């Protein structure tokens, strides 16, 4: 990815806050000017203060020097003791305003950083919601989550913070250089000639930081993914005595991550001492050259003004050092910018089809020679893709108001049918129609409002039961929520809970049993009052008692509705109006329970376990 693209990304994020940036720049300029005034004050004042005779205007030096000299003469005219107090008060005022404007500039910079990181988090989350379900297939969860955590933190600490430091350093250096040129141009040329040398040295140290940074960021995501995977699979790890294996794998990856990160940090931290040493060399050169100019005379550079020059030059060294360090830090942060841009610019998004017509009712559904292929990576470290044929030119009719059950072996393509009905994917070939109209002609949002789904893994959010039932329907009343819970046979156990519908379910519904979680998911589907209900292995993960409770809820819900039941346990679909057997991506058999048993084919063997 080009450097200009990364710069453009940051510029786009900061642009909405241009007014705040302008205020920040003003405060930096004011802070620097007050610091410069302090430096210019000291030498002239002390010279006039300790002269043995009453000082008189010399009318020599530059305009600033003359103006300050006039001010100090007035102070000394009040008496040397009073002049010391007046000058001390002046210095305190100058330092006060210098630090006040420095503080205000830092506050504004911090505000801009927080606003920018807030906006990026919002954009990343919005993008995550827009990405298709297929994007996440085969992706490492930790690697995706690191965009929201580590990458944003790295971007804030390395890029935004460094831009703040860089901007402040540039403004300060420009003002200092202008003043140094004004005092003595020849001496300042020596300073400028040293700058390219320092820049080349620092640049050589940080040239490889971007590539190293991206590698470190990628490995950090892998490390996070491995941690999450191990915690989720802890029962399996312990059951198979694989603790030592897991530790070894983690420690190997962590060792490599630490080694790469240490190598990167060595280059970053080398920028500061190297720039400081080179700056010290330049200070010595300026001291020697300036002393020669003062001794030879014939120049506006007096001994007192040279002292002020040296003070300004020494004050210029910290921002010069910060400038070099900031550039190195920004190069380090380019890796996380690249990763965030890759995520934000990924084209695997659901198309915004809000301009399409809305569907008002889902009637008869037909699959017309529908084929579906999935793409997946060959391996975690490989960018090559391979395709898997999930459905092969199937024809399927789902009649309005009737229940269609879909059965088959694992991997036969059953869940792909549910994914296509939910429009998580678009058929590779063929089309799906509703009353003769391709479902792709309807807007995605309006289609999903007419569909309710209950999946194998009940997904609940760490919120109240009422909010989980009303998820996606914020306008639902408590009466509607309770009615949906009654239909789902969930009202009884919800009412028995300490806070009823206002009880929190915990992370993923951890405070509830499997059957209770599933019935809340059914209530959520009921509340939408959908035209089409999809049950994707809704009872396969439950014990027998919970299955009976959930099945009772499902039977109540199915009356008079169009439903598609994808089942693993065949006992749950005996009464379906139509049973479709999928085998290797094709429709192998179809009919009622009795008709399929009479055929003594695949379904018969599944039921009788032959």
Q: How far is C-alpha 585 from the chain's CA centre?
A: 38
Q: How sure is the predictor about 527, in pLDDT bands with cuts at 50, 70 and 90?
A: confident
| The pLDDT value given to residue 522 | 85
In a domain, residue 593? The reply is no
Cβ(105)–Cβ(31) under 8 Å? Answer: yes
Q: Are β-strands 562-566 and 403-408 bridged in parallel, bridged antiparallel, or unpaired?
A: parallel
In a domain, residue 93? The reply is yes
pLDDT digits (tens, 9 = 90+) for 270-283: 666 766 677 677 77
Give mean pLDDT, residues 533-557: 69
pLDDT digits (tens, 9 = 90+) for 583-598: 888 999 999 989 999 9
Percent of the chain residues topping a pLDDT of 90? 16
Q: How sure is the predictor about 52, in pLDDT bands with cuts at 50, 70 and 90?
A: very low
Cβ(533)–Cβ(418) under 8 Å? Answer: no
Provide the 3-class DSSP secondary structure of residue 574.
coil
Give mean pLDDT, residues 396-402: 91
Give mean pLDDT, residues 174-190: 83
Neighbours of 216 (CB within 10 A): 25
| The pLDDT value given to residue 54 | 47
Three-state SS for 30-95 is HHHHHHHHHHHHHHHHHHHHCCCCCCCCCCCCCHHHHHHHHHHHHHHHCCHHHHHHHHHHHHHHHH
In whole angstroms, give the CA distance from residue 188 to residue 179.
10
In a domain, residue 27? The reply is yes
DSSP H or E segment with residue 599 = helix 593-599
Q: Is the pLDDT of residue 55 over 60?
A: no
pLDDT digits (tens, 9 = 90+) for 28-44: 999 988 888 777 776 65
Looking at the fold, whether 336 and 481 belong to one and the same domain comes out as no
In a domain, residue 406? The reply is no
Domains held by the chain: number: 2
pLDDT digits (tens, 9 = 90+) for 126-143: 888 888 777 777 677 777
In whole angstroms, give the CA distance from residue 511 to residue 499.
13
Q: Considering only residues 116 and 544, tell me which one the structure prediction assigns the higher pLDDT.
A: 116
In a domain, residue 504? The reply is yes
Identify the domain boundary among 524, 544, 579: 524
Tell me the pTM. 0.71
> What CATH code is carried by the domain that includes residue 332?
1.20.1560.10
In a domain, residue 198? The reply is yes
| The pLDDT value given to residue 313 | 80
Q: Is the pLDDT of residue 370 over 90?
A: yes
In a domain, residue 481? The reply is yes
C-alpha distances (whole Å) from 404 to each of 371, 372, 435, 505, 576 are: 19, 20, 17, 32, 6
| The pLDDT value given to residue 591 | 92
Identify the domain boundary among 303, 318, 344: 344
Q: Are β-strands 562-566 and 532-536 bridged in parallel, bridged antiparallel, or unpaired?
A: parallel
In a domain, residue 401? The reply is no
Identify the domain boundary among 344, 375, 396: 344
Q: Which residues pair with 30 in a beta bridge?
A: none
Q: How sure is the predictor about 3, in pLDDT bands with cuts at 50, 70 and 90?
A: low
Looking from the CA of 39 toward its CB, the CA atoms found within 13 Å total 23
Which long-range CB contacts under 8 A does 132-137 form with residues at least 24 apart?
132/348, 132/349, 132/350, 132/424, 132/425, 133/419, 133/424, 133/425, 134/348, 134/374, 134/375, 134/424, 134/425, 135/346, 135/348, 137/374, 137/376
Give mean pLDDT, residues 364-378: 83
Looking at the fold, whether 334 and 481 belong to one and the same domain comes out as no
Query: What are the b/e assignments for 281-313, b being 16+ CB within 10 Å?
Result: ebbeebeeebeebbeeeeeebbebbbbbbbbbb
Return the structure tokens found at 589. Answer: 């058999």
Q: Which of 44-48, 139-143, 153-157 shows the highest mean pLDDT?
A: 153-157
Smallest Cα–Cα separation from 396: which of 441, 357, 424, 427?
Answer: 427
In whole angstroms, give the CA distance from residue 415 to residue 422.
11
Looking at the fold, whether 465 and 340 belong to one and the same domain comes out as no
Residue 270's contacts (CB-CB under 8 Å, 6 or more residues apart) are 205
Q: Is the pLDDT of residue 120 over 70?
A: yes
pLDDT digits (tens, 9 = 90+) for 441-454: 998 888 888 888 88
Return the structure tokens found at 483. Answer: 């009615």
Give mean pLDDT, residues 350-373: 86
Q: Which domain holds residue 205?
A: 3-219+265-344
Q: Is the pLDDT of residue 70 over 60?
A: yes
């Amino acid at each position: 990815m080009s450097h200009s693209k990364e710069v453009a990304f940051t510029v786009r994020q900061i642009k909405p806050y241009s007014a705040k940036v302008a205020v920040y720049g003003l405060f930096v300029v004011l802070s620097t000017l007050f610091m410069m005034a302090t430096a210019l004050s000291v030498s002239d004042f002390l010279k006039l203060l300790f002269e043995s005779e009453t000082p008189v205007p010399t009318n020599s030096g530059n305009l600033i020097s003359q103006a300050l000299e006039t001010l100090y003469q007035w102070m000394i005219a009040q008496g040397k003791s009073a002049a010391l107090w007046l000058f001390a008060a002046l210095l305190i005022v100058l330092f006060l305003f210098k630090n006040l404007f420095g503080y205000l500039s830092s506050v504004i910079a911090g505000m801009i950083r927080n606003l920018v990181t807030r906006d990026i988090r919002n954009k990343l989350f919005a993008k995550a919601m827009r990405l298709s379900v297929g994007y996440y297939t085969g992706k490492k969860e930790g690697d995706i989550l690191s965009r929201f955590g580590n990458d944003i933190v790295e971007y804030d600490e390395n890029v935004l913070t460094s831009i703040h430091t860089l901007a402040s350093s540039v403004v300060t250096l420009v003002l200092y250089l202008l003043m140094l040129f004004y005092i003595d141009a020849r001496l300042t040329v020596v300073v400028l000639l040293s700058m390219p040398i320092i820049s080349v040295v620092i640049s050589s140290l940080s040239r490889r930081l971007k590539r190293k940074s991206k590698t470190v960021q990628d490995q950090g995501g892998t490390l996070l993914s491995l941690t999450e995977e191990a915690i989720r699979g802890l029962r399996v790890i312990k059951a198979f005595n694989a603790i030592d294996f897991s530790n070894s794998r983690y420690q190997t990856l962590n060792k490599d991550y630490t080694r790469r990160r240490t190598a990167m940090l060595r280059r970053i931290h080398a920028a500061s001492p190297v720039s400081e040493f080179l700056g010290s060399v330049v200070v010595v050169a300026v001291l020697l050259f300036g002393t020669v100019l003062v001794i030879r005379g014939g120049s506006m550079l007096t001994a007192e003004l040279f002292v002020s020059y040296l003070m300004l030059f020494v004050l210029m060294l910290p921002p010069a050092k910060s400038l070099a360090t900031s550039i190195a830090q920004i190069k380090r942060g380019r890796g996380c910018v690249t990763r965030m841009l890759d995520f934000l610019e990924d084209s695997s998004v659901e198309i915004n089809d809000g301009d399409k017509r809305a569907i008002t009712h889902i009637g008869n559904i037909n699959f017309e020679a529908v084929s579906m292929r999935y793409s997946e990576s060959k391996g975690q470290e490989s960018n090559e893709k391979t395709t898997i044929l999930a459905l092969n030119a199937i024809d399927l009719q789902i009649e309005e108001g009737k229940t269609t059950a879909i059965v088959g072996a694992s991997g036969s393509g059953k869940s792909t049918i549910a994914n296509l009905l939910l429009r998580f994917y678009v058929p590779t070939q063929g089309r799906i129609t509703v009353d003769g109209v391709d479902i792709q002609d309807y807007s995605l949002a309006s289609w999903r409002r007419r569909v309710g789904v209950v999946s194998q893994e009940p997904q609940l959010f760490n919120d109240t039961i009422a909010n989980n039932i009303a998820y996606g329907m914020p306008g639902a009343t408590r009466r509607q929520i309770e009615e949906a819970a009654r239909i789902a046979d969930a009202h009884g156990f919800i009412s028995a809970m300490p806070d009823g519908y206002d009880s929190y379910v915990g992370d993923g519904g951890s405070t509830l049993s499997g059957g209770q979680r599933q019935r809340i998911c059914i209530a959520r589907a009921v509340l939408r009052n959908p035209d089409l209900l999809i049950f994707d292995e809704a009872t396969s993960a439950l014990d027998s008692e919970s299955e009976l409770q959930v099945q009772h809820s499902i039977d109540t819900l199915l009356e008079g509705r169009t439903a598609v039941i994808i089942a693993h346990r065949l006992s749950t679909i005996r009464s379906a109006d139509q049973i479709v057997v999928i085998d290797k991506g094709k429709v192998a058999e179809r009919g009622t329970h009795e008709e399929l048993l009479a055929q003594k084919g695949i379904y018969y063997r599944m039921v009788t376990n032959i």
